[in-house]
Every structure is written in structure tokens, then in C-alpha cells.
A = this chain, B = another copy of it.
């Protein structure tokens, strides 16, 4: 009655964890050294000391590897604050999101968002991995605020989430203005007021 056994006959040599790790490491190293645009399946394979077919066996392309590598490297999730005051919660959460983007992985995120426009299969993964989860967290913050009566009863939480993340991504992608603290503060205030 072992379901795992039934589902996975585990025939054949098991996947090499060493190779997987080597690929993750190689991808991150190359990403830092050369940037996303220079990443190639061939380059990752060579850097990782891994055969190309092994790469293609487990990942359909470069961005899929990058997403997994990012998850693999992410020590901790950005956690949702809970100060008891909606505006402050939102501002703090957006603030930490923006800091992560400006100080760290902003360029990679821009590249992945761009790639998602070209590879529909990757668009799903990207949305699931980086967009939806953060929206969910923000929406949970909003719901907490709504329960406390800090938000109109008919407020559209989805819309508010778009009002928060939209301008951030818009600035990140267009680089017409910086993602500084005062911007985030205004943004959070405007979004909550809506």
C-alpha cells in the first residue's frame, strides 16, 4: 500500500544531486560575473562541468535554471510585517520589496520579466514564482487591515495590489526615475487611500 512506491518505481539511476547543485552554483556565478544576457545553456554546462543533455533533461532553457537557482540561493523570504496599522504595514512591505530590487536582484528580475514576454511557458513559472506569491502576501496584509476596518468594505484588493506593484515594476523597467524611499512612501499612501 505504499503509494510512493506505486507512483515512483524508482527504476534506473537516480538523479545526481551533485550535478544539480553544480548547475545552480554555476548559474549564479555566471549570472553575477557576466549578467543574464550572457548566460547560455552551453556556458552553464561547461562552468558546471556537466553535459548539455543533462541540462536539457531537467530544464527547458536558461530562465528556468535561473529561477531555480534564485530560489535555491534565497536564504529567507521577505516576511509580511504586522504593525497593527495598515498603511505602515503596506509601506514597510513595499519598502523591503523595493530594497531587494534596488540593492540586489533588480537587474535579474528585469531580465526574467523580459524573458517571460518571449517564452510563454516561462511566463507561467515566473508569475507563479515571483509575482503571485508577493501579491498574495500583500493581499493578506490588506485583508487584515480590512478586518480592522481600515479599508472600505467594497475595496478591490486586487486593484490595490496592482496600484502598489504596478508603479514599482514600471519604474524598474523604464528606469525613468529611481525607486527611492519617498516614492514608496507616497505610493503606499496613495494605494491605501484608493
Contacts and interface: CB of A to CB of B under 8 A. Distances in A.
Given A159-B187, A193-B194, A171 B166 contact: yes
A117 B175 CA distance: 10
A176 B165 CA distance: 13
Contacts of A165: 166-167, 170
B114 A117 contact: yes
A102 to B, nearest CB: 16
A148 B114 CA distance: 40
Contacts of A116: 114, 173-174
A14 B87 CA distance: 62
Given A118-B111, A194-B193, A163 B173 contact: no
Contact of A166 (B127, B159, B167, B194): B167
A56 interface: no
Q: Which of A167, A169, A183, A190 has the most CB of B within 10 A?
A: A167
A132 interface: yes
A110 interface: yes
Contacts of A170: 162, 165-166, 169-170
Copies in the complex: 4
A168 B186 CA distance: 19
A164 B47 CA distance: 44
A166 B191 CA distance: 12
Contact of A117 (B110, B131, B191): B110
Given A127-B175, A166-B168, A193-B193, 17 more contacts: A113-B114, A114-B117, A117-B173, A127-B176, A132-B176, A158-B177, A159-B167, A159-B183, A163-B163, A163-B187, A163-B190, A165-B167, A165-B170, A169-B170, A169-B173, A170-B170, A189-B194
5 contacts: A114-B116, A116-B174, A127-B174, A162-B170, A189-B194
